Amino acid sequence: MAEALGAPGEDSLGPAFRRAVETIAAAPGRVIVTGLGKSGHVGRKIAATFASTGRPAFFVHATEASHGDLGMVQNGDVVIAVSWSGETPELAAVVTYAKRFAIPLIAVTSNGDSALGREADVCLSLPDTQEACPNGLAPTTSTTMQLVLGDALAMALLEGKGFTARDFRVFHPGGKLGAKLAFVRDVMHRGDRIPRIAVGAKMADAILEMSAKGFGCVGVFDDSGKLVGIITDGDLRRHLKSHRIVDTPVEEVMTRSPRTVAPDALVAEALELISRKISALLVVEAGEVVGIIHFHDLLGVGAA
């Protein structure tokens, strides 16, 4: 596959791949993916990937197309027909319909000289490689290459569109992936739940605040309300050897320049920042602490 997408040449897939991406990007309608058998199953996945990455798409079964489902295909759409041999007779109705109504047709096949390859506006010819099946019959290598090519098309379009993780969240609100794509502000604790102590206070007060709020940390603030440090359970353990820890000023124990996160950051970003040593993050917006998020909060929404 890498060789097929390599340097321009007579057998290179690169130029055709670029034309396919440009054709899909220019189409004002939907991407219609069609196929039969194992190629049809692959086509369903390709359509689902397009749809989940911001390009409206759906799958039309090649046989059902000639029994009324051609009505799903409209002017402005682009058709991707998947057939390893390029000679699947059930695709004839789709090909004829696309040509009749000037709907761009992209072929995914191993045979550019096939009926499908010749009729297509863009032919993506994959290497006709032997199947991984011991008998060389069951679609294995072929379907893998079809999937890879479909994913490559979707990713090229995604990058060209500037599709971001926040855009991705719109189409993936459920499950663990949806949880990771939630915003920190959606799950953070606010107001009086934020553990805080003033510069100059004793560690005895900091320990009481940490225990009361239950986040395993406390933010240290100066007289103007600016965050200047944080004291965590780890900081406390490192200073327990001092017999007078309770009388120690908080600024002698705190960690300066604490790790923080923005409220508009994704939960996945907060998850990356949290480690075994840091179980909670203060949430800072425009220089002001507006919340706190704990690892248990990420567990609660199913992100971890």
CB 17 within 8 A of CB 124: yes
**CATH architecture for residues 14-163:** 3-Layer(aba) Sandwich (3.40)
- Which among 84, 141, 148, 144 is positioned nearest to 116, based on CA atoms? 84
pLDDT, tens only, 45-103 = 999 999 988 889 999 999 999 899 999 999 999 999 999 999 999 999 999 999 999 99
pLDDT, tens only, 53-69 = 888 999 999 999 989 99
**In the chain, where the domains are located:** 14-163, 184-300
Percentage of the chain surpassing pLDDT 70? 87
- Which among 250, 205, 251, 199 is positioned nearest to 226, based on CA atoms? 199
In the structure, what pLDDT confidence band is assigned to residue 1 with cuts at 50, 70 and 90? very low
pLDDT at 7: 46
Task: Name the least confident of 19-23, 166-170, 271-275.
Answer: 166-170
pLDDT at 72: 93
Return mean pLDDT, the chain. Answer: 87
Superfamily (CATH) of domain 184-300: CBS-domain (3.10.580.10)
One DSSP character per residue, the chain reads -TTTTSSSSTT-SHHHHHHHHHHHHH-SS-EEEEE-HHHHHHHHHHHHHHHHTT--EEEEEHHHHTTTGGGG--TT-EEEEE-SSS--GGGHHHHHHHHHTT--EEEEES-TTSHHHHH-SEEEE---PPPSSTTS-SSSHHHHHHHHHHHHHHHHHHHHHT--HHHHHHH--SHHHHHHTSBHHHH-B-GGGS-EEETT-BHHHHHHHHHHH-SSEEEEE-TTS-EEEEEEHHHHHHTTTSTTGGGSBGGGTSEES--EE-TTSBHHHHHHH--SS--EEEEEETTEEEEEEEHHHHHHTT--
End-to-end CA distance of the chain: 35
